[in-house]
């Protein structure tokens, strides 16, 4: 399976939702960087399941065990960093019927065909959202290195169903806002919207259904001039890792799809020199990227997260053994909405991508 990413910072994620453990190997990290272990645990806790009514009831500690690559006092050795996260709360019986009656919206059918039924279906196997736990560990390491280069990453739940938070002011994102968002569970910019989002999620859950939404993520402090045209652009790099987060179905940068409805004079970001003589833009519809290259303005992207495929209401499917059309009722513990827990996963994907970008541009 192709669960490896990166040229300079090489990321490999392994395991399945119900295997003994899941984990990650990160190669290419700079030696000598001291990690704050508590900060790593803060990031793991932001994504961990079982701590909120808006999430799956599966309970996992998600405490990483470092196998190699970090000294006992938390300093990166420069050798590949490998961490394991043990699985402890598997209910594999819930998946007994799903191999031959694939869930609409999940990877069951496509994987059954590709792997001739040999794929581990329990808890979504290697396709599970649980595989974002090792990604968050990797991101937690990368973002500590990035912060020493003045680069901050933070995201928030922009929408859940019809409930909408406000967007970042893309031309001017306060470091303090990103610092606080990036330590929260279910981060939002406009605090009172969280309650409405939770209400929408609960309503969907009670209707035996699920909800999707959008995550908005920003990166500040990026050096200007990193990235390449055409296939080597910063959008290309970030998108390729962001689509590694299960359930992400779309990404846009800056004004994104709204740019298609603007006039040129509205969409262009005028340049000016700030008081310190730095070139800035008054607006940031470009989302910090022009021609695939960083402009020095905040990098902003939004990712569309689909509604959780495993829902409790009866659905139509097929029986791959008998060749019949059948009804399916899914058992088990599923996120009624993935979006809040996808925020740290998407920030982490961005952190790994930005560290790769620095490495590719000789800035590490
Ligand atoms: C944090 C997170 C949690 C998820 N939780 C669930 C879940 O409880 N049930 C489920 O069916 N899908 C869940 N998913 C989504 C599936 O893993 C995903 O839809 C599936 O692997 C198919 O991949 P695709 O949607 O990218 O095509 C979750 C995804 C993430 C990122
Ligand atoms: C365990 C996590 O999420 C899981 C992601 C997931 C899926 O199909 O993606 C299905 C569920 O697995 P299970 O049936 O074993 O409870 C979720 O709980 C996690 O994110 O840590």
ipTM of the prediction: 0.98
**Structure confidence at residue 210 (pLDDT):** 98
Nearest to 169 by CA among 348, 294, 300: 300
pTM of the model: 0.98
102 in a known ligand binding site: no
**Structure confidence at residue 2 (pLDDT):** 67
Task: For residue range 114-149, list pLDDT tens digits in order.
Answer: 999 999 999 999 999 999 999 999 999 999 999 999
Q: Is there a contact between 326 and 318 (Cβ–Cβ < 8 Å)? A: yes
- Look at residue 236 and tell me whether its pLDDT is greater than 80: yes
State percent of the chain over pLDDT 90: 98
Give, for ligand 1, the residue of 106, 112, 205, 210 to mutate: max count of ligand atoms closer than 8 Å to Cβ. 106
Please name the CATH architecture into which domain 4-360 falls. 4-Layer Sandwich (3.60)
Give, for ligand 1, the residue of 62, 110, 335, 340 to mutate: max count of ligand atoms closer than 8 Å to Cβ. 335
State percent of the chain over pLDDT 70: 99
- Look at residue 17 and tell me whether its pLDDT is greater than 60: yes
Nearest ligand, CA 108: 1
Q: What number is the average pLDDT over the span 180-185?
A: 98
Cβ of 136 closer than 6 Å to ligand 1, yes or no, is no
Q: Which atom of ligand 2 is nearest to the CA of 332?
A: 14
Spacing, Cα 103 to ligand 2 middle (Å): 14
Distance CA(292)–CA(236), nearest Å, equals 8
Spacing, Cα 129 to ligand 2 middle (Å): 6
Average pLDDT in the chain: 97
Cβ of 334 closer than 6 Å to ligand 1, yes or no, is yes
Q: Which atom of ligand 2 is nearest to the CA of 94?
A: 14
Task: Encode 102-115: b = buried (16+ Cβ within 10 Å), e = exposed.
Answer: bbebbbbbebbeee
All structural domains of the chain with their residue ranges: 4-360
Nearest ligand, CA 212: 1
Q: What number is the average pLDDT over the span 85-100?
A: 94
Assigned token pair, 31: 């030696």
- Look at residue 1 and tell me whether its pLDDT is greater than 60: no
**Structure confidence at residue 305 (pLDDT):** 98
The residue nearest atom 19 of ligand 1, judged by CA position, is 247
291 in a known ligand binding site: yes
Residues lining ligand 2, Cβ inside 6 A: 17, 49, 56, 58, 60, 90, 94, 123-124, 128-130, 133, 246, 332-334
pLDDT band at 164 (very low <50, low <70, confident <90, very high): very high
**Structure confidence at residue 272 (pLDDT):** 98
Q: Name the residue with tokens 């998407």.
A: 346
Q: Which atom of ligand 2 is nearest to the CA of 122?
A: 15
**Structure confidence at residue 218 (pLDDT):** 98
Q: What number is the average pLDDT over the span 210-220?
A: 98
Assigned token pair, 136: 């968050």
348 in a known ligand binding site: no
pLDDT band at 179 (very low <50, low <70, confident <90, very high): very high
Spacing, Cα 159 to ligand 2 middle (Å): 22
**Structure confidence at residue 134 (pLDDT):** 98
Task: For residue range 239-278, list pLDDT tens digits in order.
Answer: 999 999 999 999 999 999 999 999 999 999 999 999 999 9
Spacing, Cα 333 to ligand 2 middle (Å): 7
Backbone angles phi, psi at 249, to 5 degrees: -115, -5
Assigned token pair, 36: 């704050």
128 in a known ligand binding site: yes
Task: For residue range 67-86, list pLDDT tens digits in order.
Answer: 999 999 999 999 999 999 99
Distance CA(116)–CA(107), nearest Å, equals 13
Assigned token pair, 54: 């808006």
**Structure confidence at residue 195 (pLDDT):** 98
């Amino acid at each position: 399976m192709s669960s490896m990413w990166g040229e300079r910072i090489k990321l490999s994620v392994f395991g399945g939702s119900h295997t003994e453990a899941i984990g990650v190997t990160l190669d290419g990290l700079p030696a000598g960087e001291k990690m704050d272990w508590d900060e790593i645990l803060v990031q793991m806790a932001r994504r961990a399941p079982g701590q909120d009514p808006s999430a799956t009831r599966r309970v996992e500690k998600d405490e990483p065990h470092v196998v190699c690559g970090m000294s006992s006092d938390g300093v990166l050795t420069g050798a590949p960093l490998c961490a394991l996260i043990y699985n402890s709360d598997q209910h594999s019986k819930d998946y007994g019927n799903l191999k031959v009656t694939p869930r609409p919206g999940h990877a069951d059918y496509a994987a059954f065909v590709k792997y001739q039924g040999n794929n581990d279906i329990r808890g979504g196997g290697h396709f599970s959202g649980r595989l974002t736990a090792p990604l968050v560990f990797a991101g937690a390491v990368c973002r500590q290195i990035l912060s020493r280069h003045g680069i901050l990453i933070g995201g928030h739940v922009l929408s859940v169903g019809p409930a909408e938070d406000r967007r970042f002011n893309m031309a001017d994102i306060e470091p303090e806002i990103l610092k606080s968002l990036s330590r929260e569970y279910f981060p939002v910019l406009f605090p009172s919207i969280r309650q409405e989002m939770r209400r929408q999620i609960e309503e969907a859950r009670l209707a035996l259904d699920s909800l999707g939404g959008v995550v908005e993520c920003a990166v500040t402090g990026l050096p200007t001039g990193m990235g390449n045209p055409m296939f080597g652009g910063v959008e290309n790099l970030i998108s390729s890792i962001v689509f590694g987060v299960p359930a992400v179905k779309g990404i846009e940068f800056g004004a994104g799809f709204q740019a298609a409805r603007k006039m040129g004079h509205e969409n262009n970001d005028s340049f000016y020199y700030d008081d310190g003589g730095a070139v800035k833009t008054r607006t940031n519809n470009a989302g910090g990227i022009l021609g695939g290259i960083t402009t020095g303005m905040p990098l902003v992207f939004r990712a569309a997260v689909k509604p959780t495929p495993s829902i409790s209401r009866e659905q139509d499917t097929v029986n791959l053994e008998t060749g019949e059309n059948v009804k399916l009722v899914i058992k088990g513990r599923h996120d009624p909405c993935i979006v809040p827990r996808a925020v740290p996963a998407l920030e982490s994907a961005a952190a790994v991508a930005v560290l790769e970008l620095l490495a590719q541009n000789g800035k590490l």
